């Protein structure tokens, strides 16, 4: 890491360093490459943050034991303060907000993560395989006979929402409401959101919370074999989870678990279709699907960045950082650092040593990674098996979400015939 903060006038800053900017949204890598080479510790003065783009710095930052994820420790006016709110805790009389796991520090983080880790360990997730396969089959059955689909609306969107609802023991009929609320809640990550968007975000957060509260109460009266019943049981046995914590966890699992996995499938299928040689390889060798999904995660990762705040003046790889500074760790840039990934802009479904940071690293590493991987592998494998002529629709260009953090398509029209 270089020892100086660099604010170079010709480098983009603020909004143009986010997916709100059309060029950056289309392909952020020319900018990331420039930052990594010229200003790997870049002072984005417009948004009050320092952007880190080198693999080693990003990894060290997200793993740093003394750094916090609590936005309240960041300096007033910083990027993290702009994006962290749901609006719920800010209005008088609302008591529906509890920070999500990813924004909790120890000891609360450790206590809740431990309780959740059983439900999300690789064995428990492997037990979900038959259900994920049948949800995938049902969605593809509904596409059969059509000559065109929108991959997001018809397949990649509903699949993870349905999977997480089933884990929670909730009816699939609620799928569309939950997907819509999840998309609205994500708008909390738009640093430039207007009052109307903020109101929609707040409503979605409260509506989702009400729905989860109803299920928590029902499971307390009549437990079943599902995730919400397990959380209620943990609460009763050890008095370690409050109702609000359960509801907040459910909200986070829903939001973190569904849009991101939709984006893994959307970004991954798009990368395959843009690289016909790799698509042909995967069709010829379906057993490469696990490695292919890892490369999809590296090449076009669904969560592009995260943040940490030093509690005190400190260092990252020997370089000083100050208390309260918002450190934006760019996972997307780190995943294209040539020192960690040779020929990083090449999409190679059998890439060796693919230790990407798409799921983060350290104590906050993605809890749902085994589930996301399983869904991604089944979705890609079945889609290719069922659709031998799958290709982009030249008449209808895809559209990407204009939102920082969550990189994915809002629409990805494909031809099947
Ligand atoms: C491809 C899909 C996914 C990607 C790319 C992804 C990415 C991430 C990343 C980068 C983090 C760490 C953020 C940080 O360190 O600040 C994270 C945390 C988390 N993810 Fe995921 N995620 C995905 C799917 C899921 C799924 C399916 C679930 C659950 C159903 C989930 C639940 C969580 C939770 C609860 C955390 C917080 C963990 C903690 O703070 O201890 N994610 N995810």
| Under 8 Å between Cβ of 325 and 50 | yes
Ligand 1, atom 17, lies closest to the CA of 366
Count of C-beta atoms within a 10 Å radius of residue 111: 14
Ligand 1 interacting residues, C-beta cut-off 6 A: 62, 101-102, 113, 164, 252-253, 256-257, 260-261, 264, 301-303, 306, 331, 358-360, 364, 366-368, 371-372
Ligand 1, atom 40, lies closest to the CA of 102
Ligand 1, atom 22, lies closest to the CA of 366
| Under 8 Å between Cβ of 58 and 330 | yes
C-alpha 366 to ligand 1 mean position (Å): 3
C-alpha 108 to ligand 1 mean position (Å): 17
Domains of the chain (ranges; CATH) run 14-415 (1.10.630.10)
3-state secondary structure the chain: CCCCCECCCCCCCHHHHCCCCHHHHHCCHHHHHHHHHHCCEEEEHHHCEEEECCHHHHHHHHHCCCEECCHHHCCCCCHHHHHCCCCCCCCCCCCCCCCCHHHCCCCHHHHHHHHHHCCCCHHHHHCCHHHHHHHHHHHHHHHCCCCEEEHHHHHHCHHHHHHHHHHCCCCHHHHHHHHHHHHHHHHHHCCCCCHHHHHHHHHHHHHHHHHHHHHHHHHHHCCCCCHHHHHHHHHHHHCCCCHHHHHHHHHHHHHHHHHHHHHHHHHHHHHHHHCHHHHHHHHHCHHHHHHHHHHHHHHCCCECEEEEEECCCEEECCEEECCCCCEEEEHHHHCCCCCCCCCCCCCCCCCCCCCCCCCCCHHHCCCCHHHHHHHHHHHHHHHHHHCCCCEECCCCCCEECCCCCECCEEECEEECC
161, 368, 375, 380: residue to mutate for ligand 1 pocket, most atoms within 8 A of CB: 368
| Under 8 Å between Cβ of 393 and 148 | yes
Q: Which two tokens stand for residue 34?
A: 């420039």
Q: What's the distance, CA 417 to chain centroid?
A: 32
| pLDDT (0 to 100) of residue 33 | 97
| pLDDT (0 to 100) of residue 2 | 46
| Under 8 Å between Cβ of 86 and 185 | yes
64, 67, 69, 256: residue to mutate for ligand 1 pocket, most atoms within 8 A of CB: 256
C-alpha 232 to ligand 1 mean position (Å): 22
The pLDDT profile of the chain, 417 residues, written as one tens digit per residue, is 444 454 555 789 999 999 999 999 999 999 999 999 999 999 999 999 999 999 999 999 999 999 999 988 999 888 888 886 666 654 445 555 677 788 889 988 998 888 888 778 888 899 999 999 999 999 999 999 999 999 999 999 999 999 999 999 998 788 889 989 998 998 888 888 888 998 999 999 999 999 999 999 999 999 998 989 988 887 766 656 788 888 988 998 998 888 999 999 999 999 999 999 999 999 999 999 999 999 999 999 999 999 999 999 999 999 999 999 999 999 999 999 999 999 999 999 999 999 999 999 999 999 999 999 999 999 999 999 999 999 999 999 999 999 999 999 999 999 998
Atom of ligand 1 minimally distant from the CA of 254? 30
Ligand 1, atom 32, lies closest to the CA of 368
């Amino acid at each position: 890491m270089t020892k100086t903060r660099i604010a170079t006038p010709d480098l983009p800053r603020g909004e143009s360093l986010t997916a709100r900017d059309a060029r950056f949204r289309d392909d952020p890598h020319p900018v990331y490459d420039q930052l990594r080479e010229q200003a790997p510790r870049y002072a984005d003065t417009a948004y009050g943050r320092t952007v880190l783009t080198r693999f080693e710095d990003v990894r060290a930052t997200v793993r740093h034991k003394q750094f916090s994820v609590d936005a309240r420790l960041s300096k007033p006016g910083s990027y993290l303060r702009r994006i962290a709110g749901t609006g719920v805790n800010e209005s008088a009389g609302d008591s529906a907000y509890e920070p999500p796991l990813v924004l909790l520090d120890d000891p609360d983080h450790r206590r809740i993560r431990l309780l959740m880790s059983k439900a999300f360990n690789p064995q428990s997730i492997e037990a979900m395989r038959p259900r994920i396969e049948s949800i995938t089959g049902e969605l593809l059955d509904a596409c059969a006979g059509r000559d065109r689909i929108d991959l997001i609306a018809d397949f990649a969107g509903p699949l993870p929402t349905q999977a997480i609802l089933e884990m929670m023991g909730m009816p699939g009929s609620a799928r569309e409401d939950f997907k819509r609320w999840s998309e609205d809640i994500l708008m909390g990550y738009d640093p430039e959101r207007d009052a109307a968007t903020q109101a929609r975000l707040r409503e979605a957060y409260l509506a989702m919370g009400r729905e989860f509260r109803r299920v928590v109460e029902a499971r307390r009266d009549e437990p079943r074999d599902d995730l919400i019943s397990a959380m209620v049981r943990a609460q009763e046995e050890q008095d370690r989870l409050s109702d609000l914590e359960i509801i907040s966890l459910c909200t986070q699992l829903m939001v973190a678990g569904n849009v991101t996995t939709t984006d893994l499938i959307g970004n991954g299928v798009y990368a395959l279709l843009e690289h016909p040689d790799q698509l042909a390889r995967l069709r010829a060798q379906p057993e490469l699907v696990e490695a292919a999904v890892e490369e999809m995660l590296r090449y076009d990762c669904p969560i592009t960045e995260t943040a940490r705040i030093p509690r005190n003046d400190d260092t990252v790889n020997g370089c000083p950082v100050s208390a309260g500074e918002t450190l934006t760790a760019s996972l997307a840039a780190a995943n294209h650092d040539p020192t960690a990934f040779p020929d990083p802009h090449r999409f190679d479904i059998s890439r060796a040593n693919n230790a990407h940071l798409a799921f983060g690293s350290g104590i906050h590493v993605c809890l749902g990674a085994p589930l996301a991987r399983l869904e991604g592998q089944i979705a890609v494998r079945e889609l290719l098996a069922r659709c031998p002529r799958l290709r982009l629709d030249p008449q209808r260009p895809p559209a990407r979400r204009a939102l920082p953090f969550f990189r994915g398509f809002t629409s990805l029209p494909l031809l099947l015939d």
